[in-house]
Structure 1
Amino acid sequence: MTEPAPDAYRERLDALYARLDYERLGMPASSSSTELKLGRMRRLLRRLGDPQDALRIVHVAGTKGKGSTSAMVAAALSASGIKAGLFTSPHLHRLEERFEVDGAMMSPSDLVARCDEVLPVVESVEADWPDPEGRGMTFFEATTAIGLLHFARVGCRAVALEVGMGGRLDSTNVVRPGVSVITSISFDHVRQLGPTLGQIAREKAGILKRGTPAVVGVRGDEPLSAIREVARSRRCPIREVGPDVSYDYEPPTPPVDRPSNGVVRVRTWRRDWGPIVPPLPGEHQARNVAVALASLDALAETDPTLDVDPGAAARGVSGLRWPARVEVVGESPWVVIDGAHNVASAEALAGTLRSNFPSVPRTLVFGTSRDKDLDGQLRALLPLFDAVIATRYVENPRAVDPSAIAEAVSALGGPPAEVSADPASALQAARRRSPVPGLVCVTGSLFLAAEARAAALGLSNVPARPRLVT
């Protein structure tokens, strides 16, 4: 397909980014806000012809692991010859990354074409159903519609659809999925979802649809009880990791001289998947593999034409590359980039660095967002690191000031933190300070991970970055 004129592409991006974008501004304080309703989203899709109704959807929610699990589901389907879409957020470098078909992101030409289909309809919905407070439809609502329309247009047979935030009031929760999935429950977005694990679980269980099967990878009595209660009220048959799905994870045998993902063996109520090399390291990713494979089995039970070839699916999962998730981008010293941004994901990262990476001196490059638990993340990470560099991402206004991070490190008894103004200079400083052998880990935010990854890999010409609005 012919590439669009640069001005046309930029104009469509600007039109999208001009919309209210909670990824840049932070979410409203309450999930009951008038901004988080589904009526206009349903009207938008109806005017687009309800493209979601042509798709078999695996709808994936969870505090952590939902993106990785969605990507594994899509990779397994594609490897089995089933044309599969993948919708995730946020993107790292280009907006088109959010919309993948068989592992390839949407082309710029397709993005322009879908914007030209969707944005005029967005404006017509806004005109016919104006918001009482004058707010237009959001960036995420528009991009969700673009994704669903694109997958229908190109003939996807199945789609792995990642929830943006929460579940009950998320813009993706207008679909009728073949399978609903909840990967995990931990504390994040507590202002919007609630201060207890049970409340958070109920919000995420809002994606469960009457009579639709669900796969649940959640640990803990409180969140599991809440999910089971919602499932019973909606007559949803659920399969849980534990009673219905088992997995055994074998981390690499110490001493580990280079990063290794280990091996996981998964058995569901339907089949024994045998040994699989996870695409990402860590016990939590082995659990995500189990959830993904169970989701595929549940999907096959709802639609036998979507049953995957186990060998091909396993190869698809193992071969998946999922950037900025414990991603190794350099050696001598090892450079690891991870988008961990809450306490649970920081704890998982810490465990992975202990079990799957060499035991060498480590330098932490850390930056996070204002609405995240700064002290909680640092408590999980600091015991592993000999040096710390505090920094911030620069292309989003939600970043915590690096000096505040350095103060928090000191208050928690960490090593004196060097302050660096941006991810590129922080990465340079970390490499200078790190011995060989050594390890540098950049984490605290997916936004930080994206900018550090661009610097580490020398990426340029990533025009999907929004222009800062002051």
Structure 2
Amino acid sequence: MGVSAEKYQQSLDFLFGRLNYERMGSSKYSTSDFKLGRMQELLDCLGNPQFQVPTIHIAGTKGKGSTSVMIAEMLSAAGFRTGLFTSPHITCYEERILINGQQIESEQLVELVSELIQVVEQLDLKPGNMNPTFFELTTALAWMHFHKQHVDFAVMEVGLGGRLDSTNVCDPLVTVVTNISYDHTALLGNSIEQITREKAGIIKQGIPVFSGVTQPEALAVLDEVCQENQSLLYLLNRDFMRLAESHQNSQLEQADDSSQIPAKNQQNIQVKTPWSLIDQMPVTLLGTHQLTNATLAVTVIDYLRQQRIPLEDAQMRQGMSYLKWPARIELVQKNPPVIIDTAHNGASIEALVDTLTASFPQSNRVLIFAATKDKDVREMLGLLLPHFQTVILTQYLSNPRRIPVEELVDLTRESQKTTGNTSQLIITDSPEAAWSRAKVVLTADSLVCVTGSFFIAAELRELLLGTTDEVLVTEPC
């Protein structure tokens, strides 16, 4: 039947025309801008679809997206119709709202936005600044879609923080807090305790909590909040753990051009939960941190099995074996290796560097780096610079939160002066120009890594792959 390109674009224009905090630096807003009452009233007008869908609710500083997609894929492989809501998107808006891995269709999006517009027009007339934001409307769209499509489960990733996030109006089956580190400190707080308390705001009365948090100060907050809510708390390395793993992922397969890349689908872990011992669970995403995310995801699924939700080990393995998660230490080209990652804080940069060190032997490393305002760019550069011989600084084009490349140059030179780093600097004004310069400096023993923000990852990924997820195997730089 189809929908006209004009109607589709009008729907997107309506959504992106709302106040959009993803396009603003955190210095431009505060917790007073986030109002769950506004989100609840929006959902009330829509019939509260969030209460009609069994939900797994997931927060955390990093790893929440990977953990969400792992849980969703295992449920889908077991035959359950599973919705997945994540943010931000890499290539297109529809990536945020999936059912069994399939994006919401343009016809469905237009239909749901038409329903939303009628409600929003009435809310906009109310006193007290009721105007729903871009993310609130997107979250509502996800629940509307999942409800109309009769999903069995919805896996909902928190957008920012937890306590005041627009996803935090559901009644979940399970609550997950992946981990805690410093990010969005202007909004969430500048201590681990403060940030943990914001993330722990998704904990509900009597709902079990599964967490990969390890810092003592964060654990103390989680324990306190769980006791207040009479919620059982299951912790990594106390109640569930990874007992063993194969190290086949460090073995290398030989490509036709003699470049070396990590063998695919070769990480396998053994997970001990409070109820089971699960062997040979594949993890297709690169990095030791993904083994931790997988341990958490498998434990959540095993808990659901204890609630009489039928899932077999083989189905869990099947879901994990076919999992893809774009721009999360993603190998997008093999000759030479090109890695794209969305790392944008110290903890995620450390995970990226550790993975490159463990899995890629190339000695001539080229970094393409762009960053977002209000991030700790000095920390990121301090972690990255020692591991790259050439650093190409640039700026993404799709979002006004970008740091101008001239400012990045000053920060990088300041870091080099402080640390004695001698990486070659190349300055460009766009991702396309950065990629062109990268191709000039490559050798047979090169690796390219693109990182610093979601936006540079998205723009470079689209430049290389377009809309496909297929790795470029034969096309060299």
The TM-score with structure 2 as length reference comes to: 0.92
CA offset at residue 300 of structure 1?
3.3
CA offset at residue 383 of structure 1?
1.5
CA offset at residue 456 of structure 1?
0.9
Aligned equivalents of 1:227, 1:174: Cα separation in 2: 20
73-82 or 19-28: which moved more?
19-28
The residue that corresponds to 2:180 in the other structure is 185
The residue that corresponds to 2:473 in the other structure is none
- CA 31–318 in structure 1, closer or farther in 2 if over 3 Å, else same: farther
2-11 or 265-274: which moved more?
265-274
From 442, 447, 450, the equivalent of 2:458 is 450
Residues 281-320 of structure 1 aligned to structure 2 (within 5 Å): 281-301=286-306, 303-304=307-308, 306-320=309-323
Q: Is the 8 A contact 1:30 1:191 kept in 2?
A: no
401-410 or 4-13: which moved more?
401-410
From 76, 86, 89, the equivalent of 2:87 is 89
The residue that corresponds to 1:212 in the other structure is 207
The residue that corresponds to 1:229 in the other structure is 224
Secondary structure (helix, strand or coil) at the match of 1:110 reads: helix
Aligned equivalents of 1:293, 1:270: Cα separation in 2: 12
The residue that corresponds to 1:202 in the other structure is 197
Gaps of 5+ in 2: 253-259, 469-477
**CA distances 1:268-326 after superposition (whole Å, capped 9, x unpaired):** 1121221222121111000000111111123334x42x332221112211211111111
432-441 or 194-203: which moved more?
432-441
Q: Is the 8 A contact 2:328 2:341 kept in 1?
A: yes
Residues 2-401 of structure 1 aligned to structure 2 (within 5 Å): 2-27=1-26, 31-33=30-32, 35-128=33-126, 130-131=127-128, 134=129, 136-247=131-242, 248-252=244-248, 256=252, 257-260=260-263, 262-301=267-306, 303-304=307-308, 306-401=309-404
CA offset at residue 120 of structure 1?
1.6
- CA 26–135 in structure 1, closer or farther in 2 if over 3 Å, else same: farther
Q: Is the 8 A contact 1:12 1:112 kept in 2?
A: yes
CA offset at residue 411 of structure 1?
2.1
The residue that corresponds to 1:430 in the other structure is 438
Q: Is the 8 A contact 2:38 2:130 kept in 1?
A: no
**CA distances 1:359-395 after superposition (whole Å, capped 9, x unpaired):** 3311000001011110111111112111100011101
Secondary structure (helix, strand or coil) at the match of 1:236 reads: coil
Aligned equivalents of 1:64, 1:17: Cα separation in 2: 25
The residue that corresponds to 2:475 in the other structure is none
CA offset at residue 126 of structure 1?
2.8
Gaps of 5+ in 1: 461-470
**CA distances 1:225-250 after superposition (whole Å, capped 9, x unpaired):** 11111111111101111111111344
The residue that corresponds to 2:405 in the other structure is 402
**CA distances 1:168-205 after superposition (whole Å, capped 9, x unpaired):** 00000000100000001000000111110011001000
Q: Is the 8 A contact 1:252 1:356 kept in 2?
A: no
CA offset at residue 350 of structure 1?
0.4
Secondary structure (helix, strand or coil) at the match of 1:412 reads: helix
Aligned equivalents of 1:32, 1:255: Cα separation in 2: 47
- CA 265–235 in structure 1, closer or farther in 2 if over 3 Å, else same: same
197-206 or 268-277: which moved more?
268-277
CA offset at residue 75 of structure 1?
0.4
The residue that corresponds to 2:414 in the other structure is 411
Q: Is the 8 A contact 1:177 1:212 kept in 2?
A: yes
Instruction: Look up the equivalent residue of 1:452 and give its one-letter code.
Output: L
Q: Is the 8 A contact 1:25 1:397 kept in 2?
A: yes
CA offset at residue 255 of structure 1?
6.3
RMSD value, Cα: 1.6
Secondary structure (helix, strand or coil) at the match of 2:131 reads: coil
CA offset at residue 29 of structure 1?
5.6
CA offset at residue 61 of structure 1?
0.2
Aligned equivalents of 1:54, 1:65: Cα separation in 2: 27
CA offset at residue 31 of structure 1?
4.6
The residue that corresponds to 1:468 in the other structure is none
Aligned equivalents of 2:357, 2:310: Cα separation in 1: 37
Instruction: Look up the equivalent residue of 2:317 and give its one-letter code.
Output: A
Aligned equivalents of 1:200, 1:398: Cα separation in 2: 22
CA offset at residue 210 of structure 1?
0.3
Secondary structure (helix, strand or coil) at the match of 2:367 reads: strand
- CA 41–254 in structure 1, closer or farther in 2 if over 3 Å, else same: closer
The residue that corresponds to 1:466 in the other structure is none
Aligned equivalents of 1:238, 1:231: Cα separation in 2: 7
Q: Is the 8 A contact 1:216 1:239 kept in 2?
A: yes
Instruction: Look up the equivalent residue of 2:208 and give its one-letter code.
Output: P
CA offset at residue 28 of structure 1?
5.5
Secondary structure (helix, strand or coil) at the match of 1:395 reads: coil
Aligned equivalents of 2:277, 2:73: Cα separation in 1: 19
Q: Is the 8 A contact 2:250 2:262 kept in 1?
A: no
Secondary structure (helix, strand or coil) at the match of 2:110 reads: helix
